[in-house]
Structure 1
Amino acid sequence: MKPKITIKTPWQFIASGFGSGLSPIAPGTMGTLAAMPFWFLFATYLPFWGYLLIIIISALFGIVICQKASDELGVHDHGGIVWDEFVGMWITMICVPVSIPNAILGFLIFRFFDVLKPWPIKVIDEKVQGGFGIMLDDILAAIFSLITIHLILTWIFPIFA
């Protein structure tokens, strides 16, 4: 039986997306939703370079916190570890204009790639272990999502861009 993630340690609290990964139903989806208000704040109030800096620091920090939380739980990539979803969502939304339709679109696209894990994401998810592996598959899903949302906003729904 898989151990339950808690918020009793700082590593698990942050890795669980400040508790959003504690959801018994679809913790990854809840973590992605919990990342959206942060995206709104970062995209609205930070310069572009500041937004990118937050993503880079959060991704590097994520490798450490996801590893520590995994070690505490004794399980690689526990479902309640959702910090990777936070960073993935923020990458997905790079240079996407802030709006509710764009937020919904970005959310749906990122969840699609994160859940489906097309090649090479699935291979990375299966082969790369530790905190780096936990973060890397979501970063790749986010890059796929970033490209997809920009293609959609440019070619299909330019009204939202």
Structure 2
Amino acid sequence: MQAPKVWSNIWHFLAFGFGTGLARKAPGTWGTLAGLAVMPLFYLLPLWLGLVVIVLAAIFGVWLCGQVAEDLGVHDHGGIVWDEMVGVWITLIFLPNAWQWWILGFLLFRFFDILKPWPISLLDRNLGGGLGIMLDDVLAGIFAAVLLYALWWSDLLLWIN
């Protein structure tokens, strides 16, 4: 991927997480951090509107990631990180706006995104295009969120609140 295309094409710029996907090492991690940078905006919205924005971002991401992957001629280019951004938003949207939750959310989301436990791995192998690119990160976000919410609701992480 040539960097100038990311800076001159709005779709590539978005798909590459505002340029973070250009990182030579761990672009998915950098894209997740870009998603964290946007997260404070969600806390300014009512929860229902934040959820609508995330759903719309995921639907848009199916088209965006598919289009940019097609433009690049690569099924799931490592620099496409819009899916990581949406995944971390899913992970954190219901949790309190506290740095401790953000760190745990970041770590758990990256764990599930990299490890890809079943059924994430099954979908990742068998779905192509933008849906395949987006769905594994949406599921990683859901897995991380469910685990975090269970820990929160069980009061096992009292030191955070």
Normalised-by-shorter TM-score class: over 0.9
**Cα distance, 1:4 vs structure 2:** 4.7
Aligned partner of 2:50 in structure 1 is: 51
Give distance in 2, aligned partners of 1:101 and 1:9.
36
Question: What are the superposed Cα offsets for residues 113-161 of structure 1, whole Å, 9 maximum, x if unpaired?
Answer: 0000000101111100000110001111111011011112222103424
Q: CA deviation at 1:12?
A: 1.1
The aligned residue for residue 14 of structure 1 is 14
Distance 2:35 2:86 in 1: 8
2:142 pairs with 1:143:
yes
TM-score, normalization by structure 1? 0.93
Question: Would the aligned equivalents of 1:153 and 1:159 in 2 still touch at CA under 8 Å?
Answer: no
Compared CA separation, residues 31 and 97, structure 1 to 2 (3 A): same
The one-letter code of the counterpart of 2:138 is I
Point out where structure 2 has 5 or more consecutive residues left out of the alignment.
none
**Aligned counterpart, 1:35:** 35
Separation in 2, partners of 1:96, 1:160: 11
Aligned partners of 2:28 and 2:79 also within 8 Å: yes
RMSD (Å), alpha carbons: 1.2
| 1:114 corresponds to | 113
- Are the structure 2 counterparts of residues 4 and 126 from structure 1 closer, same or farther at C-alpha, using a change threshold of 3 Å? farther
State the alpha-carbon separation in 2 of the partners of residues 76 and 140 from structure 1. 19
Are the equivalent residues in 2 in contact too, given 1:11–1:69 (CA < 8 A)?
yes
Report the Cα distance in structure 2 between the residues aligned to 1:157 and 1:56, rounded to whole angstroms: 28
Q: TM-score, normalised by structure 2?
A: 0.93
Q: Which runs of 5+ in 1 are unaligned?
A: none
* Structure 2 partner of 1:24: 24
**1:17-58: per-residue Cα shift (whole Å, max 9, x none)?**
111111001000000011112112212x10001110110110
Structure 1: distance between partners of 2:10 and 2:37: 21
Aligned equivalents of 1:93, 1:112: Cα separation in 2: 15
Structure 1 residue runs of 4 or more that deviate by more than 6 Å after TM superposition:
none
* CA deviations over 1:91-126 (Å, ceiling 9, x no partner): 001210011111101000000000000001011111
- Output the amino acid matched with 1:26: A
Conserved? CA contact 2:42–2:93, under 8 Å? no
